[in-house]
Chain A
Amino acid sequence: MEAAILFILVLGFLFLGVPISISLGLSSVLAIAIFSNDSISSVALQLFTASQNYTLLAIPFFILASAFMSTGGVAKRIIRFSIASVGAIRGGLAIAGVFACMLFAALSGSSPATVVAIGTIAIAGMRQAGYTKEFAAGVIANAGTLGILIPPSIVMVVYAAATNVSVGRMFLAGVVPGLIAGLMLMIAIYVMARVKNLPAQPWPGFKEIWHAMMEAAVGLFLMVIILGGIYGGIFTPTEAAAVAAVYACLVALFVYRDMGPLSGIRWVQEEDGPLGLAGFKTITYGFTAMFAWSGIAGMVTDRQGFFGIDSAIVLLAALIGYPLLRGRVSPAELPSIYGVGAKIWGRNIGLIIWKFLPAMFHKDTKKVMVDAAKTTIMLMFIIVNALLFAHVLTSERIPQAITDWMVGAGFNWFTFLIAVNLLLLLGGQFMEPSGLLLIVAPVVFPIGMELGVDPVHLGIIMVVNMEIGMITPPIGLNLFVTSGITGMSLVQVVKAAAPFVLILLMFLILVTYVPALSTWLPYSLMGPEIITNR
């Protein structure tokens, strides 16, 4: 009875246009005020303590990292790399669009940001190459949803917080399904391209691929920090997120220079000439090679220090080998290119130190901070209230009642997962993913555990459902965004996206009934998940 009133209150408020957060919070507060003798003080205190959850603390940092990574230049570099590497296949630009969305998803946890950043450039490019607008928009709207499946993902952090599953395992679990989903979209595009005879890009050559990769690598290293740091046991996921945010900030301000006081100042100026460029590259590649080698050697062997004598050998080999083999420099010119290279590096480091404080207080930096804070607040206020709601549900013993009923009704894991999928697909039409997850997880998780479903696998199923919710009407976030940037009507976008949505639905069935896709990577790297929250 109380459960029914609670759900009717929430849905009633929701459809009357009350904000989601307040619908959840107000229903919980009213339920406590009417049905229980608890003091409201403890409820008010929960608003404060909900944010004390260590796992949830990662969310603002991931949002901040993604805000710095979405400031324009990163998307351009990723698209250049994608087109260089897969553009020469038939239908290559669309495949490159999917690939770019996957890479961008690895830097940012947000689907709409992926659609805007990649879509604005990629859709225009596809139109010029002769693709129809509908096809281009459909591809990007769907590929953009990979943002929440490929780690880092905020929805996964929320699931981990709600069920006490480890964030590290959830992130690793998203890798294989993310790759498969991307691959399935790419194959579908390739088949369509064969049928419709869509164009291919000219083969750019390995040199262009290498250059494009080097440019994108600085940004993509963020993924290495997060996954490597968590898996290597260097940081907790929350710390990894904080490090990622600082790294993203430094890259955006001082390396890519798309914003802040250094925007427009290039690392190597025109007047440095070809010799200067060669020298700069020699030193950069030399030290990068040394650090990469030392890092890998440190992981493979069990030596104490970071550097060994081998690091010095690698550095020397790169410093001498690169200019002679690639830079078209004669041995006599070697000393002079080291001189010019060191001068360019010195000038840039000086510039960074000189502009460090101005950059930190620059208006662009502040804008990114405020944007990230806005997103954090919007999301966290929903999460805080959803936690309040989940607390009321648990204290009324509603999850237990539903578990008993479902087990009694003869559900097994197979039929249970169908029910979960249907529930989430339906709920995903009206609710924000994180909020929905926090309400559904306390109910569904204990049943899943009772029926022997793997906790990490269940999490991935939920995330894929949220993904599909983003591209199905009536309320699909990516549909709104795509329709907004392309000027197409919502109905047109829905039609354009539909063939690819079918592929994602097939993918959902695959993920649901092949648990190994989700569990193989995390369990072989980090050991099985221990269920602490029954």
Chain B
Amino acid sequence: MQRVDNWVTRFEEGVLAFLLAAMTIVSFTQVVARYGFNSGWTGALEFTRILFAWLILFGMSYGVKIGSHLGVDAVIRLFPKPVFRAVAVFGALCGVVYALTLLWSEWLHIFGLDTRGGAIDYWSKMYKIGIGLDDLRYPDAIIETFGTKERVQRWIAYLILPIGLFLFMFRCIQAAWQIITGEREMMIAAHEAEDLVAENKDVLKD
């Protein structure tokens, strides 16, 4: 189980590093192409933006896993231990409600709310219509060999929306369970630089 876990972490970190690197390289080469060769790739900006969206939406679940999402812990730390734990579980469950509502809002019907739509609904609509993105085109070779349409379909770019939200929900459920079993204290990081401080803890202490 530990090995699978390590493998998953390495996969997640690899994907995140790749997305960030790809964004940077594409943007940089665009500048070089414009000044050096007076040319450019029309799809570059749209491609970078999609990578950026993928970075955020794929990464948000990783953020839950490593506990890097910021929150305020000053108040709940004043509560007695059992209450603190219950509130911490509540925090994680809020994440579940958030993701589930955005994925498939019709579950709120049990509270008598008249909601509709959600990421899954939207994505399947896009899949059925099959319209393409504004600028991003398939290379000619792919169009010829696979007989695809000229533009990359929107549903491919939007695929991360249901996947990211689903992973986010999964990680929140996992976090809630870990808090219940006592493996983890809470879901949030109290401040942005927790890792940085932990690395340099007391380096200047006498």
Instruction: Mark A residues whose CB is within 8 Å of B.
Output: 13-23, 25-26, 29-30, 33-34, 37, 39-45, 47-48, 51-52, 54, 57, 60-61, 64, 112-113, 116, 119-120, 123-124, 127, 133, 234-235, 238-239, 242-243, 245-246, 366, 369-378, 380-382, 384, 430, 432, 474-475, 477, 480-481, 484-487
> When the two chains form the complex, which single residue of A19, A30, A124, A371 contacts B70, counting CB atoms closer than 8 Å?
A19
Q: For the complex, is B21 an interface residue (Cβ under 8 Å from A)? A: yes
* B17 A369 Cβ-Cβ under 8 A: yes
A179 to B121, CA, bound (A): 53
Q: How far is the CB of B197 from chain A (nearest CB, A)?
A: 3
Give chain A nearest CB distance to B118 CB in angstroms. Answer: 5
Q: Are A112 and B27 in contact (CB under 8 A)?
A: no
Q: A30 — which chain B residues lie within 8 A by C-beta?
A: 101
A32 CB → nearest B CB, Å: 8
Write the chain A residue with the least CB distance to B35: A234
Residues of A within 8 A of B48 (CB): 57
Q: Given the complex of chains A and B, what is the CA–CA distance between A484 and B157 in angstroms?
A: 42
Q: Would you call B57 and A22 a contact (CB within 8 A)?
A: no
The answer to whether B204 has its CB under 8 Å from any CB of chain A is yes
From B20, B75, B190, B198, give the contact of A369 (CB < 8 A): B20
B118 lies within 8 A of A40 (CB): yes
Q: Would you call B143 an interface residue if the criterion is a C-beta within 8 Å of the partner chain's C-beta atoms?
A: no
B129 within 8 A of A: no
In the bound complex, residues from chain B placing their C-beta under 8 Å from that of A245 are 24, 28
Q: Are A474 and B108 in contact (CB under 8 A)?
A: no
**Which of A16, A51, A477, A480 interacts with B91 by CB under 8 Å?**
A16
B52–A60 CB distance below 8 A = yes
Interface centre among A16, A48, A480 (most CB of B within 10 A): A48
User: Within residues 165 to 206 of chain B, which ones have a CB less than 8 A from any CB in chain A?
Assistant: 165, 186-193, 195-198, 200-206
CB of A144, distance to nearest CB on chain B (Å): 11
Q: A19-B91, A123-B204 are in contact. List 4 more A-B contacts (CB 8 A).
A: A29-B101, A373-B59, A475-B191, A485-B202
**Are A112's CB and B73's CB within 8 A?**
no
Residues of B within 8 Å of A372, CB to CB, are 20
> What are 17 A-B contacts with C-beta separation under 8 Å?
A14-B71, A17-B72, A26-B101, A39-B116, A44-B165, A45-B122, A48-B157, A57-B27, A116-B193, A235-B31, A369-B16, A377-B56, A378-B69, A384-B56, A480-B193, A481-B197, A485-B200
Residue numbers in B under 8 Å from A119 (CB-CB) = 204
Could you tell me the distance between the alpha carbons of A425 and B70 in the complex, rounded to whole angstroms? 19
Alpha-carbon distance A378/B69, docked complex (angstroms): 6
Which of chain A's residues has its CB closest to B204's CB?
A486
> Which interface class (under 10, 10 to 19, 20 to 34, 35 or more) fits B?
35 or more
Asked if A41 meets B56 with Cβ closer than 8 Å, knowing A369-B21, A373-B19, the reply is: no
Contact B72 A14 (CB under 8 A): yes
Cβ contact of B49, chosen from A21, A57, A133, A380, cutoff 8 A: A57
**Across the interface, do A25 and B72 meet the contact criterion of CB distance under 8 Å?**
no
| CA distance in complex: A432, B189 (Å) | 12
Q: Is A18 a contact of B21 with CB atoms below 8 Å?
A: no
Contact between chains at B192 and A432 (CB < 8 Å)? yes
Determine if A481 and B108 form an interchain contact, defined as CB atoms under 8 angstroms apart: no
Is A17 a contact of B91 with CB atoms below 8 Å? yes
What residues on B are CB-neighbors of A480 within 8 Å?
190-191, 193, 197
- Tell me the complex Cα distance, A29–B158, Å: 19
Q: How far is the CA of A43 from the CA of B56 in the complex (A)?
A: 16
Decide yes or no: A377 and B62 within 8 Å by CB, A19-B187, A370-B17 being known contacts.
Answer: yes
Tell me which residues across on chain B come within 8 A of A477, comparing CB atoms. 191-193
Q: Which residue of A lies closest to B187 (CB)?
A: A19
Contact digits for B61-74, partner A, Cβ 8 Å, 1 yes 0 no: 01100101111111
Q: A381-B63, A477-B192 are in contact. Are A20 and B70 (CB under 8 A)?
A: yes
Task: From known contacts A44-B119, A44-B161, A487-B202, infer whether A26 and B94 are also in contact, taking CB-CB under 8 Å.
Answer: yes
Query: A17-B72, A17-B73, A17-B75 known; A246 and B49 CB under 8 Å?
Result: no
- B57 in complex: contacting residue of A39, A48, A113, CB < 8 Å: A48
Q: What B residues does A474 contact at CB under 8 A? A: 74
The docked-state distance in angstroms from the alpha carbon of A374 to that of B64 is 11
Cβ of B76 < 8 Å from any Cβ of A?
yes
B115 lies within 8 A of chain A by Cβ: yes
CB distance from A486 to the nearest CB of B (A): 5
User: Please, which residues of chain B bring their CB within 8 A of the CB of A120?
Assistant: 200, 203-204
Which of B88, B108, B197 interacts with A33 by CB under 8 Å?
A: B108
Q: Smallest CB-CB separation from B30: which chain A residue?
A: A239
List A contacts of B205 (CB < 8 A).
486-487
CB neighbours (8 Å) of B91 from chain A are 16-19
Residue B11, interface by CB 8 Å: no
Assess whether A242 is in contact with B118, with CB atoms less than 8 Å apart.
Answer: no
Q: Which residue of A lies closest to B165 (CB)?
A: A44
Q: B60: which A residues are within 8 A, CB to CB?
A: 377, 381
| A374→B70 contact, CB < 8 A | no
Is A34 in contact with B113, judged by CB distance below 8 angstroms?
A: yes
Cross-interface CB contact of B161 among A21, A23, A45, A57, cutoff 8 Å: A45
- Is A475 within 8 A of B20, CB to CB? no
Q: How far is the CA of A377 from the CA of B61 in the complex (A)?
A: 10
For A14, list chain B residues within 8 Å (CB).
71-72
Contact, CB under 8 Å: B88 / A17? yes
Q: Judge whether A373 and B105 touch: CB under 8 Å.
A: no
B131 at interface, CB cutoff 8 A:
no
Q: Which 8 pairs of residues, A with B, have the shortest CB-CB distance? A: A487-B205, A41-B117, A484-B197, A39-B117, A377-B59, A112-B193, A242-B27, A40-B105
